[in-house]
Amino acid sequence: MDIQALSKKFGINAERKTGGRFPVFEENIRSRRVLVVCDETTRVFAQPVADMVGGNAAKCGMLVLPSPEPVADEATVRAVAEGGDGYDYLLAVGAGTLNDLCKYAGFLTHRQSGVYATAPSMDGFSSSVTPLIEKGFKITRPAQTASDILMDFDVLTKAPRIMTGAGVGDILAKYCCLTDWRISSYLTGEQVNEEAFSLMLDAVRACDNSVPALQRGEAAGVEKLMDALLISGYAMVIAGNSRPASGAEHHMSHFLEMDFLRHGERIPLHGVKVGLGTMVSLYFYKTLRSRPAFDGCERVYAEAEKLPPPEYAEGVLASLNCPTRFSELGISRDTMRNMLFEAYKIRDRFTVLTLYCSRGWMKTAADEIMEKYF
Ligand SMILES: [Zn+2]
């Protein structure tokens, strides 16, 4: 099933530009009053989008957030919600943050929202929750899903390489979180939703097979990446939680994010941090046999064998201009060490980190990881 047909099942119009137009979207907004929301970085894409909207909607306005890199905090959510007065549809032009802002402001004020994606950098386009910063803390809130996800592959293919790399990091991560889910079913009896599991895994493999095309900057690669990023949202809907899309590598990323927030520092791209966490998780899985045996270990080893080696993820991420050492993000040794010992406490969810920390293996494993990836 192609992504447009699959998306339709989830009530989303995921539409690629054809013949210079978005026919379904253009029809959807006929009687609507649409506010186009962008920031200083994405305003270059927003004007042609506003022209297209203006030619179809009952009314069109534009809100430019006065920052090249806005964050989804209370003040900015308020600015978007208030900017939406007189409109009934919020269209984000951007990627993670703009999409989150419009989804959440739309949810709070009972307005539909959509996104014109400018970079394939994370899997939040199709998800119904949104990460926000409230009172300096990172928190995930329920929101609405975007009604329309507009994809212009001429734009997406030209996104900064590191943003594409971040999207790939968020997808390679799924190898690990799916394995976390599977081993949890072996070791704790947690249920795996097989439909969500295989939908996600198939999309990850298709994206992974397209990495050479991505490295060459070809649209065909970016299409598979966008497919996988959207399917991640759908797999979460099917599972009823974020298990198919988030495991230890995401917990490590959240831990780091809170540390950046505490220090009032700029937060690196989600997928960049998740990519680093993915290398750590892969290393833990691939070195499991060097740790003491445990009840059920053979089945866990068998799952670990299906995973790519950490060197593979490292090579892919590096080729897409993503950092492959924690120190490259300005993270201190202490913070990274604490992350290894503490990140599993972020969610009550069994992962490879829980396995290592609960069995007391982290003490030696942390030294190995610091040596390799600091
Ligand atoms: Zn993610």
Ligand 1 centroid vs 126 CA: distance in angstroms?
A: 12
* DSSP strand pairing (59-65 vs 148-151): unpaired
pLDDT of residue 135: 87
Ligand 1 centroid vs 39 CA: distance in angstroms?
A: 22
Ligand 1 centroid vs 85 CA: distance in angstroms?
A: 31
Ligand 1 centroid vs 234 CA: distance in angstroms?
A: 13
- Which DSSP string do the residues of 313-360 spell out, in sequence order? HHHHHHHTT---SGGGGT--HHHHHHHHHHGGGSSS---HHHHHHHTT
Ligand 1 centroid vs 278 CA: distance in angstroms?
A: 11
Rounded CA-CA distance 73/22 in Å is 31
- For residue range 128-182, what is the model confidence (pLDDT) as tens digits? 888 898 888 888 898 999 999 999 999 999 999 999 999 999 999 999 999 999 9
Ligand 1 centroid vs 116 CA: distance in angstroms?
A: 19
**pTM of this prediction?**
0.95
pLDDT of residue 69: 87
Ligand 1 centroid vs 164 CA: distance in angstroms?
A: 13
Ligand 1 centroid vs 273 CA: distance in angstroms?
A: 9
- Domains of the chain, CATH where assigned: 3-157 (3.40.50.1970), 161-373 (1.20.1090.10)
Ligand 1 centroid vs 134 CA: distance in angstroms?
A: 19
Sequence-distant (6+) residues with CB within 8 A of 357 are: 341, 344
Ligand 1 centroid vs 124 CA: distance in angstroms?
A: 7
Rounded CA-CA distance 141/166 in Å is 22
Ligand 1 centroid vs 171 CA: distance in angstroms?
A: 8
Ligand 1 centroid vs 294 CA: distance in angstroms?
A: 30
pLDDT of residue 23: 97
Ligand 1 centroid vs 337 CA: distance in angstroms?
A: 22
Tens place of pLDDT per residue across the chain (374 aa): 789 999 999 999 999 999 999 999 999 999 999 999 999 999 999 999 999 999 999 999 999 999 888 899 999 999 999 999 999 999 999 998 999 999 999 999 999 999 999 999 999 999 888 889 888 888 889 899 999 999 999 999 999 999 999 999 999 999 999 999 999 999 999 999 999 999 999 999 999 999 999 999 999 999 999 999 999 999 999 999 999 999 999 999 999 999 999 998 889 999 999 999 999 999 999 999 999 999 999 999 999 999 999 999 999 999 999 999 999 999 999 999 999 999 999 889 999 999 999 999 999 999 999 999 99
Per the CB < 8 A criterion, the answer to whether 187 and 253 are in contact is no
Ligand 1 centroid vs 252 CA: distance in angstroms?
A: 11
Ligand 1 centroid vs 38 CA: distance in angstroms?
A: 22
- Which DSSP string do the residues of 213-251 spell out, in sequence order? HHHTT-HHHHHHHHHHHHHHHHHHHHHTSSTTT-SHHHH
pLDDT of residue 264: 87
Ligand 1 centroid vs 204 CA: distance in angstroms?
A: 13
CA angle, corner 24, sides to 23 and 29, nearest 5? 100
pLDDT of residue 68: 84
Instruction: Pinpoint the alpha helices (H) of the chain.
Output: 3-9, 23-28, 43-54, 74-83, 96-109, 153-157, 161-187, 194-209, 211-215, 219-239, 248-262, 270-286, 297-305, 310-319, 333-342, 352-358, 362-373
Ligand 1 centroid vs 32 CA: distance in angstroms?
A: 32
pLDDT of residue 90: 97
Ligand 1 centroid vs 56 CA: distance in angstroms?
A: 34
